[in-house]
Amino acid sequence: MSEKIKLDKRCKDFIVQGVADSHLEYVRDKRSEFDAWASLSATFEKRGMLNKVMMKRALSNLKFVRGESSIEDHILRYDAAVRDIVAAGCKYDKEDLITNFWITLPKKDFDNLISIFETLQSELTFPHVKARCIEYEHRRVGEEASSACFKATQNFKKSFKKPVNSTPVSRKSLFSQASFAKF
Q: Please report the pLDDT score of residue 101 as a whole number.
A: 92
Q: Please report the pLDDT score of residue 85 as a whole number.
A: 87
Residue-wise pLDDT for 98-121, tens only, equals 989 999 998 888 888 888 888 876
pLDDT beyond 80 at 148: no
pLDDT beyond 70 at 61: yes
Backbone angles phi, psi at 111, to 5 degrees: -60, -35
Q: Give residue limits of the domains in the chain.
A: 3-44, 49-144
The answer to whether 8 and 32 have CB atoms below 8 angstroms apart is yes
Helix axes 71-87, 126-159, angle to 10 degrees: 160
Model pTM above 0.75: no
Residue-wise pLDDT for 135-146, tens only, equals 888 888 776 655
